[in-house]
Amino acid sequence: MHKLVVLYPHPADPGHFEKHYRNVHLPLAARLPGVLTARFSLTIDSGDSQPSYFAVFEADFADVQSLQSAMASEWGQKVTADVPNYASAGAVVLNYDVEPLPLSAGVET
């Protein structure tokens, strides 16, 4: 599996960010081809009085080629072009392969 993570620093206008993000950007992102699952949060709590990031978006793809195809698609280009319309502080984009962590109920220490 391959994961896309987008971290958003605090914007100049949080109200504008949230309104545009929910009403315009997320509907565009929902049209990305090949997305297996996606989620976001506008309530990041790092334990600090002001966390480093305002919002986070995550999407899972089958592999890096699926992510690359999605971002090269018409919808991927629209998603990318829309970011400056709400994210005044820009965005940090990460993508990486993920491996499952086998969980065990009876781990010996």
Q: In the β-sheet with 2-8, what is the strand arrangement from edge to edge?
A: 37-41, 55-61, 2-8, 92-97
DSSP 8-state assignment for residue 10: P
Strand 55-61 with 92-97, pairing: unpaired
Q: What is the pLDDT of residue 16?
A: 97
Which has more pLDDT, 109 or 47? 47
| Per-domain residue ranges of the chain | 13-34+62-86
Q: What is the pLDDT of residue 48?
A: 67
For all residues of the chain together, what is the average pLDDT? 93
Q: What is the pLDDT of residue 102?
A: 87
pLDDT tens string 49-80:
778 899 999 999 999 999 999 999 999 999 99
b (16+ CB within 10 A) / e for 29-53: beebebbeeeebeeeeeeeeeeeeb
Average pLDDT of span 28-54: 89
Give, rounded to a whole angstrom, the gap between the first and last alpha carbons of the chain.
30
Q: What is the pLDDT of residue 104?
A: 75
**Is the pLDDT score of 26 beyond 80?**
yes
